[in-house]
């Protein structure tokens, strides 16, 4: 690549968010204008730059080519601040996609160098945004929020700032702010990338029909093979979470036809194959996924499949790999917490996740994992508010609902426990090779309810107050489960958004109010 061409590529800045590739943009490389002749096929580095301009995922080989191009350029031009920002953001993206913490360290050095060459007060927004994305990749949502809000204040119409803010607000548990950021993103930008992001937001809010329709829009709008692979992987994820393993398998297969070694699609196909009884193929795909994208959540899933198959040596190797690794993933704390909770060290899991919570990492995933760790450590009363928060504020999740059901069962709240265990298996009868059978066994131990009696614990606080006030404390007079099922989706969303006064409080406050803090 000539120096002139290389300079133009240096003006494109990549940035990656959690679970997706985000982009900061400047000028695109336009070979037909620079050459003064007919267009030529773009180089891999140029393709990565073009993907960044659209906010789309770059193919991994193209991303690697862009990194090599910028490293070479900067050896001769070390004062090029935009190129340092490009390099830092590209390192972050590669680190997240490959789970390599070393790339995150490289990213920090490159972004700091960019700010040294062109300080923030002189308008280096690219490096500031890159530092925000890097903070998010490390699970530092406070830092991600601070950098993102700085960039938004300086350039409020810069659309690629908003995906970072959505992730940061969700990571901090500020869902209203995340919703506002999503609305602003949709006002500023369209296309496959934003439709895909909107689909994920709808999924996180439990709006499955909206999520599916929007994900289909994103797939239809996808313009490159990398975009199409990401879009069909998302559709596979949604089908999997609905318990539709055959449809998920088809969607993941489509994604792999576009990008044959797409890590998330390989992992998704492994899950679906295991549920369909094709366990040898599932293990093969897990090995391929981990070779391509060794993320901590994939290592844990592969280990639990091995354990469910009686392959204890393989399972132990996976768990040891998790414990001894250095992970470039914002989900690492949750995954390691769940590993310790379920596989031998629940006290360590509680300490790890309490620390994350105290630092402001208050996503629904952290709430669920902390609740489960407390339960596994023998403190179900303290676990309950966290598990309840995850179910009420998060997506329609079989694992979250299972965790809540088991905690309620331990507390003797049989009505609610039965309802939530049934719901977990209704959402996805085979949500985990280890935990779905345990959910079914727990439900069987509860037995069938007495048809003439509704357990008091199955009633909501509102129901109990109403019955007490009317003097009709007959337990069989109210069955909240049926009332919930008859509500329209809109009414359910409204009820869930408003909640009850107790539900609206932070878990610590709920604990304190019961004297368990």
Structure confidence by residue, pLDDT tens digits, 101-152: 899 999 999 999 999 999 999 999 999 999 999 999 998 999 999 999 999 9
Query: Are the CB atoms for 196 and 218 separated by under 8 Å?
Result: yes
Q: What is the CATH number of the domain that holds 113?
A: 1.25.40.10
CA separation for the pair 340, 330 (Å, rounded): 17
pLDDT in tens, 112-122: 999 999 999 99
- The whole-angstrom separation of Cα 107 and Cα 263 is 22
Phi/psi region, residue 310 (left: phi>0; alpha: psi -120 to 50; beta: rest), is left
Q: Are 28 and 12 in contact (CB under 8 A)?
A: yes
**What letter does residue 459 receive in the DSSP assignment?**
S
> What pLDDT does residue 321 have?
94
- Same domain, yes or no: 343 and 450: yes
Residue at a domain's end among 142, 172, 202: 172
Query: Over 50: is that where the pLDDT of 207 sits?
Result: yes
Query: How far is it, in rounded angstroms, from Cα 306 to Cα 23?
Result: 37
For residues 42 and 427, give the distance between their C-alpha atoms in angstroms, rounded to a whole number: 45
Mean pLDDT score, 418-440 = 96
Asked whether residue 164 falls in the same domain as residue 215, the answer is no
What is the C-alpha separation between 394 and 392, in angstroms, rounded?
Answer: 6
pLDDT at 485: 37
- Least-confidence region, from 30-34, 365-369, 417-421: 30-34
Q: Is residue 184 part of a domain?
A: no
Q: Both 7 and 131 in a single domain?
A: yes
- Name the nearest CA neighbour of 104 among 90, 117, 120, 115: 90
354 and 443 housed in the same domain: yes
Residue 108 belongs to what domain range?
1-172
Query: Tell me, what DSSP letter sits at residue 505?
Result: S
Tell me which residue of 83, 47, 74 sits closest to 63, measured CA to CA. Answer: 47
CB atoms within 10 A of CB 210: 16
Question: Does residue 344 come out as left (phi exceeding 0), alpha (psi in the -120 to 50 range) or beta?
Answer: left
Instruction: Tell whether 333 and 252 lie within a shared domain.
Output: no
Average pLDDT value for residue range 348-359: 95
* Among 182, 206, 184, residue whose Cα is nearest residue 196: 182
**What local confidence, expressed as pLDDT, does residue 482 receive?**
33
Contact yes or no for 164/172 (Cβ under 8 A): no
Tokens of 223: 């313009």
Instruction: State whether 362 and 497 are in the same domain.
Output: yes
| Domain edge (last residue) among 172, 200, 235 | 172
Check whether residue 344 and residue 491 sit in a common domain: yes
- Judge if 370 and 426 occupy the same domain: yes
Q: pLDDT per residue over 20-50, tens digit each?
A: 333 433 333 333 333 444 555 666 666 666 5
Q: What is the mean pLDDT of the chain?
A: 82
Q: Is residue 179 part of a domain?
A: no
Residue 472: strand pairing partners: none
pLDDT at site 451: 67
Domain membership of residue 431 (yes or no) is yes
Same domain, yes or no, for 100 and 134? Answer: yes
Q: From 292, 316, 343, give the residue that closes a domain.
A: 292
| Rounded (10°) CA dihedral 34, 37, 43, 45 | 10
Task: Give helix then strand counts, H and E, for the chain.
Answer: 30, 2
Same domain, 365 and 402: yes
Query: Is residue 165 very low, low, confident or very high in pLDDT (cuts 50, 70, 90)?
Result: very high
In angstroms, the CA 328 to CA 207 distance is 30
Same domain, 408 and 361: yes
Q: What is the pLDDT of residue 101?
A: 87
- Kindly tell me if the per-residue pLDDT of 468 is higher than 80: no
Q: Give the whole-angstrom CA distance, residue 36 versus residue 45.
A: 20
**Which residues are CB-contacts of 11 (< 8 A; sequence separation ≥ 6)?**
26, 27, 82
**C-alpha–C-alpha distance, residues 161 and 133, integer Å:** 9
Lowest-confidence segment of 58-72, 180-194, 201-215, 246-260 by average pLDDT: 58-72
Q: What is the mean pLDDT of residues 323-337?
A: 88
Q: Can you tell me the distance from the alpha carbon of 242 to that of 399, in angstroms, rounded to the nearest whole number?
A: 12
- Structure-token match 């994604």, residue found: 255
Q: Is 17 within a domain? A: yes
Tell me whether residue 177 is in a domain. Answer: no
Task: For the chain, give the longest Cα–Cα distance.
Answer: 88
pLDDT for residue 256: 97
20-24/13-17 β-pairing: antiparallel
**pLDDT-above-90 percentage for the chain:** 64
In a domain, 284, yes or no: yes
Task: State pTM to two decimals.
Answer: 0.78
Q: What is the pLDDT of residue 59?
A: 74
Query: What DSSP element (H or E) covers 24?
Result: strand 20-24
Residue 178 lies in a domain: no
Task: With respect to residue 400, please indicate whether it lies within any of the assigned structural domains.
Answer: yes
pLDDT at 410: 97
Q: Is the CB of residue 101 less than 8 Å from the CB of residue 25? A: no
Say yes or no: 28 and 131 in one domain: yes
The number of folded domains in the chain is 3
Return d(Cα 99, Cα 296) in angstroms, integer: 8
Task: Give the pLDDT band of residue 96 (cuts 50, 70, 90).
Answer: confident
Which strand (E) or helix (H) includes residue 15?
strand 13-17
């Amino acid at each position: 690549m000539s120096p002139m061409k290389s300079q133009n590529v240096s003006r494109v800045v990549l940035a990656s968010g959690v679970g997706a590739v985000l982009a900061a943009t400047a000028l695109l490389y336009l070979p037909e204008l620079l050459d003064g002749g007919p267009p030529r096929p773009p180089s891999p580095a140029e393709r990565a730059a073009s993907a960044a301009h659209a906010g789309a995922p770059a193919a991994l080989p193209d991303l690697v080519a862009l990194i090599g191009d910028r490293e070479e350029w900067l050896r001769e031009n070390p004062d090029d601040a935009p190129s340092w920002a490009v390099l830092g953001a590209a390192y972050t993206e590669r680190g997240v996609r490959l789970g390599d913490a070393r790339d995150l360290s490289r990213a920090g050095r490159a972004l700091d160098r960019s700010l040294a060459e062109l300080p923030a007060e002189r308008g280096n927004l690219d490096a500031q945004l890159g530092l925000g994305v890097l903070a998010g990749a490390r699970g530092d949502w406070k830092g991600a929020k601070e950098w993102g809000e700085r960039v938004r204040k300086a350039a409020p119409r810069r659309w690629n700032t908003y995906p970072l803010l959505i992730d940061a607000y969700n990571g901090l548990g500020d869902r209203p702010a995340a919703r506002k950021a999503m609305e602003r993103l949709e006002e500023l930008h369209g296309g496959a990338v934003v439709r895909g992001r909107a689909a994920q937001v709808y999924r996180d809010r439990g709006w499955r029909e909206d999520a599916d329709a929007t994900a289909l829009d994103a797939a239809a709008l996808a313009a490159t093979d990398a975009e199409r692979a990401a879009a069909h992987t998302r559709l596979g994820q949604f089908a999997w979470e609905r318990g539709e393993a055959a449809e998920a398998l088809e969607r993941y297969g489509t994604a792999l036809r576009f990008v044959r070694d797409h890590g998330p699609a390989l992992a998704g196909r492994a899950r679906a194959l295991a549920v369909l009884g094709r366990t040898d193929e599932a293990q093969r795909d897990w090995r391929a996924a981990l070779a391509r994208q060794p993320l901590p959540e994939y290592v844990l899933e592969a280990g639990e499949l091995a354990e469910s198959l009686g392959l204890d040596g393989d399972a132990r190797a996976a768990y040891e790999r998790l414990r001894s690794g250095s992970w470039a993933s914002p989900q690492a704390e949750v995954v390691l917490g769940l590993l310790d909770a379920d596989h031998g060290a629940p006290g360590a899991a509680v300490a790890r996740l309490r620390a994350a919570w105290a630092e402001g990492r208050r996503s629904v995933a952290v709430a669920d994992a902390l609740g489960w760790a407390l339960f596994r450590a023998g403190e179900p009363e303290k676990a309950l508010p966290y598990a309840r928060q995850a179910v009420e504020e998060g997506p329609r999740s079989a694992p979250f609902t299972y965790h809540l059901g088991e905690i309620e069962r331990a507390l003797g709240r049989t009505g609610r426990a039965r309802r939530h265990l049934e719901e977990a298996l209704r959402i996805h009868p085979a949500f985990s090779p280890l935990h779905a059978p345990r959910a079914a066994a727990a439900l069987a131990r509860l037995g069938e309810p007495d048809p003439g009696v509704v357990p008091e614990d199955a009633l909501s606080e509102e129901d109990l107050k109403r019955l007490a006030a009317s003097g009709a404390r007959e337990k069989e007079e109210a069955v909240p489960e049926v009332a919930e099922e008859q509500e329209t989706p809109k009414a359910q969303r409204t009820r869930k958004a408003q909640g009850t006064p107790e539900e609206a409080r932070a878990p610590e406050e709920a604990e304190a109010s019961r004297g368990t803090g």
